[in-house]
Amino acid sequence: MRRRPRTVPTFGGRQLGWTAAASLGVLALLAAGAAGFWPLAPIDRAVEHVAAGQPGGLLYALMLVVTALGDGLFLTLAAVVTVAAFLFTGARWRAMCYALCFGAMPVVVHTLKLLIARPRPTDIPYTGIDIFSFPSSHVTHSALIYGAIAGLTYVTYRGWLRYLLTGAFLLLPLMIGVSRVYLGAHWFSDVLAGYALAVLFLVLLAIAVAKHPEPPKFSRGIPIALFVIAAAFPVYLLVTLPDSADLYRAIELHQRPDTAPSP
């Protein structure tokens, strides 16, 4: 009897449905609070009082490094490399689904920022749509892209390497969320909304991918993608960290730096 090719495992439709509903509910609740329909501000101020950091020191420098992992330019690189890895192995449906998902997220985030128009916790020198705080672009995009890569890692590897790499990619957006509150760039609820929106998109992505299951041969490109992303970050950090340090120092000094990276 001829064996059918093994395909990538997916979650059941019911679990995905409940996850999407919960994420949408959390996002709607936080958006209503950020827009002033219920008293969300006291919760955010309480968290800010506990979690906000002081400039200088090793921890502050570490948070600058962590938050750079969520910069738009670096996440774009990670997204492009991931989609290119699919195309390299002939997984065109997956490449299209991931590209559409990654490309649609900025549109949704910018729309929410304009609709809510929530000020940031501090006088951070961003311009345009980025002056608004809800939801956190850093957190939303990093949770989407790193979360998608974590899912790919989980179905690609086996044994301890699967859990090590998957856990590492899931930890990244959590650390980035902490860094945004610590640096005074976002309210706590902005971060939670970013996670909720990313989970919603990840569910939609999982549903789309499940429509056309592909054999695991597509996973051959993932180690290449992971290697390129890991190798590129030190170079990216070396170039951008001085400007990032000036930007977050300007928050405390209330001055505009010469350059301001996008959130």
Within-domain flag for 116: yes
Six-digit token string for 28: 């709607």
Domain with 131 in it: what CATH number?
1.20.144
Question: For residue 202, what pLDDT is reported?
Answer: 95
Question: For residue 117, what pLDDT is reported?
Answer: 87
Within-domain flag for 112: yes
CA 171 to chain CA mean position, Å: 11
Within-domain flag for 7: no
Range of the domain at 118: 13-253
Within 8 A by CB and 6+ apart from 88, the residues are 221, 224
Question: For residue 196, what pLDDT is reported?
Answer: 96
Q: Which residues pair with 132 in a beta bridge?
A: 119
Q: Which residues pair with 152 in a beta bridge?
A: none
Q: Tens digits of per-residue pLDDT, 89-146?
A: 888 888 899 999 999 999 999 999 999 989 888 776 667 788 888 999 999 999 999 9
260: exposed, middle or buried (Cβ count in 10 Å: 0-12, 13-18, 19+): middle
Question: For residue 4, what pLDDT is reported?
Answer: 43
Question: For residue 91, what pLDDT is reported?
Answer: 82
Q: Tens digits of per-residue pLDDT, 181-240?
A: 988 888 999 999 999 999 999 999 988 888 776 655 666 677 777 778 888 888 777 776
Within-domain flag for 8: no
Q: Tens digits of per-residue pLDDT, 7-47?
A: 444 456 677 888 899 999 999 999 999 998 989 989 999 88
Within-domain flag for 260: no
Q: Is the dihedral of CA 248, 254, 258, 260 positive or negative?
A: positive
What domain count does the chain have? 1
**CB burial string 109-145: b at 16+ within 10 A, e below:** beebbeebebebbbebbbeebbbbbbbbbbbbbbbbb
Distance of CA 138 to CAs 177, 186, 220, Å?
Answer: 8, 10, 29
Question: For residue 8, what pLDDT is reported?
Answer: 43
| Of the listed ranges 44-58, 63-77, 177-191, 245-259, the one predicted with least confidence | 245-259
Within-domain flag for 2: no
- pTM for this predicted structure: 0.84
Six-digit token string for 7: 């395909």
CA 138 to chain CA mean position, Å: 6
Contact 193, 31 (CB under 8 A): yes
